[in-house]
Amino acid sequence: MNGSTGKVLRVDMTQGKLWDEALDEATLRKYLGGTGLGTKYLMEEVGPKIDWSDPKNIFFLGSGILGGSRVPGCATISVVTKGALTNGATSTQANGNFGAYLKWCGYDAIVVQGSSPTWKYLYLHEGGAELRDASKLVGKDTWETEDAIKAELGYKERGMSVFSIGPAGENMVRFSGIFGDRGHCAGHNGVGAVLGSKKLKAFAAARATNKLQFADSQKLGELAKKTTEGAKNFGGGGVFNWGTSRVLPTAEAAGWLPVKNYQTNVFPEKDLFDGQRVRPLFQSQNYPCFGCASHHYELMTVTEGPCKGFFGKEPEYEQWAAWGPQIGQPDPGAAVMLSNVCDRLGFECNEASWVVGWVMECYQKGALKKENLDGLEMTWGNVEATRALLENIANRRGYGDTLAEGVKRAAEKMGGEAYNWAIFTGKGNSPRGHDHRARWVEMLDTTISDTGTLQTQMLVVNKDLWKMPNPMEVFNPNHVVQAEANSTGSMTISDCLVQCWFTSFNDTETQVEAINAATGWNISLEEVMKIGRRIVTLLRIYNLKCGLTPDKETTSPRYGSQCVDGPNTDKPVAPHWEKMVDQYYKMMGWDRKTGMPLPGTLKELGIEDLAK
């Protein structure tokens, strides 16, 4: 089959059994792969009453139609499961090499079920797949695990892709993720905890030589060149040349940089974190994903400050924000170190930093004291105390056991005024590394999303195609709702194709060309856009059945609060919130009371039977 191996690998951890399952072309055309295919398996096999840690929960890891092709950004993977923070649907992605290697090993996706009595890892290679003993890997961090598996199996650095959980995942911390290829993370909604519950330590895929068949390889090559040029030139070449930290000073100036747990929007040291300064200073070296056209990921060595000599991965913007301004920490070198500690222990960085920032604010205001925190002095910017706290959380030691449940549950347990300082949504997830009080569209998205993280990325290329306000007024309630509702499905298409946003930028027209070049289908732009909306709606239906109803689509007091300084003190979101949600539901074709898509919406998307 063009664009596909035609196979899904099934893994039963309870029985230690593996088998191949056929993937037909009709299913692939309906769901495209990645998040779409994972949503199908989740809805069909994981009932709403099944808990995230139940052996009956599945863990889907998949590539897409373009995986393993020449199109940049298509070695990405998508993970779909029932997640630990919301106990609802999860869709989260990671870059790296695994998506390409998976298809070269002969599979479009892996579906894991059951729970093993002993620790295992899954090894995929030229001849198939096997479960292997992972007892010697228990307790190792994600980099150590990657090195140990490659050494055991005799593979060099680029000869194998390994994604694993760290101690946080082993101990089922609710915001643990899976990490591979030196720090790439699929982390949202506690997918690492799900693997921990199954005692599956890692996935390891060899760089096999099985050939993939595409309908028009020449056309794919042309599109690859076009995509590469687009990635290089995006934002004036800022990301390509300097990485995502290039936007940190801009974020501070616009008021959407998270600083000290949303207590302020002012971070005087912002320019120290600018990639244009940090990359040359910290001796960065390119470490691209397979087919990467973006150069947004590098390895680096810290050359100044207390962490001088530390070697690790370059933080993404969200990690710079997490371990710099969010915890009141002004040293970029320390942010590099803490980012890598976070990855190696196996935490999703955003939730981890909301937890640490909340603890620091509680310490600042006397709600938590040294004796409550196992002797740690959690003052703002205390790097060593932060590192020790992360290790305690990963191993569920002392107060770390409470914090391992996530910021919402920890704040609820403490109660009192401290509850009002925590940043989260009513569903249990939390925002990405921004202050959404200055990005209303993302606050609306995060609060209502059915993926456990942002579901829509409004920065689509063709604003006319998706009927986006142009120019966009970010504090105009009508523009916010139009942008969010009309662009719904655009990011989902990328996640079904499993294409990195830093190479695709949700350029739907080019993606449709690539789908047809890969498969020979002659699929229309309208059909692909409908697929994106269909997957969003299916995830919506699933979560409603799981109890994630409209009454849970709320912001915590701090998350929905008013900025106290910076450029946006006169732009409170609260007075507009209910009206925006009402308007959003109307534009999406959902019942405002139940949250369920209306009959006309279901009929338009061809999923009437799945809503029952």
pLDDT in tens, 249-283: 999 999 999 999 999 999 999 999 999 999 999 99
The pLDDT of residue 512 is above 70? yes
The pLDDT of residue 343 is above 90? yes
**Residue ranges matching CATH 3.60.9.10 in the chain:** 7-206
Name the pLDDT band for 127 (thresholds 50, 70, 90). confident
CA distances from 482 to 441, 579, 580, 588 (A): 9, 13, 10, 10
Name the pLDDT band for 477 (thresholds 50, 70, 90). very high
- Average per-residue pLDDT for the chain: 96
Q: Which of 23-32, 86-95, 122-131, 291-300 has the lowest mean pLDDT?
A: 291-300
Structure letter (DSSP) for residue 434: S
**What token pair was written down for 523?**
């699929």
Please name the fold of domain 236-421: 1.10.569
pLDDT of residue 111: 99
By CB atoms closer than 10 A (0-12, 13-18, 19+), residue 76 is buried
Tell me which residue of 295, 291, 273 sits closest to 282, measured CA to CA.
273
**Residue ranges matching CATH 1.10.599.10 in the chain:** 436-611
pLDDT of residue 536: 97
By CB atoms closer than 10 A (0-12, 13-18, 19+), residue 293 is buried
pLDDT of residue 458: 61
- What is d(CA 121, CA 322) in angstroms, rounded to the nearest whole number? 31
**Residue ranges matching CATH 1.10.569.10 in the chain:** 236-421
CA distances from 7 to 16, 27, 32, 109, 214 (A): 19, 12, 14, 7, 16
Name the pLDDT band for 541 (thresholds 50, 70, 90). very high
Q: Which of 87-96, 273-282, 289-298, 368-377 has the lowest mean pLDDT?
A: 289-298
pLDDT of residue 587: 98
pLDDT of residue 568: 98
Torsion of CA 485, 491, 493, 498, to 10 degrees: -160
Tell me if 426 sits within 8 A of 447, measured CB to CB: yes
Express each pLDDT in 388-430 by its tens digit. Answer: 999 999 999 999 999 999 999 999 999 999 999 999 999 999 9
pLDDT of residue 456: 85
Instruction: From the options 3.40.718.10, 3.30.450.20, 3.30.465.10, 3.60.9.10, give the CATH code of 7-206.
Output: 3.60.9.10
Name the pLDDT band for 296 (thresholds 50, 70, 90). confident
Name the pLDDT band for 460 (thresholds 50, 70, 90). low
- What is d(CA 322, CA 338) in angstroms, rounded to the nearest whole number? 9
Express each pLDDT in 198-244 by its tens digit. Answer: 999 999 999 999 889 999 999 999 999 998 888 888 778 888 888 89
Residues 282-303: what's their mean pLDDT? Answer: 89
The pLDDT of residue 445 is above 70? yes
| b (16+ CB within 10 A) / e for 598-608 | beebbebbebe
SS3 for 212-226, per residue? CCCCCHHHHHHHHHH
Residue range 436-611, CATH number = 1.10.599.10
The pLDDT of residue 298 is above 70? yes
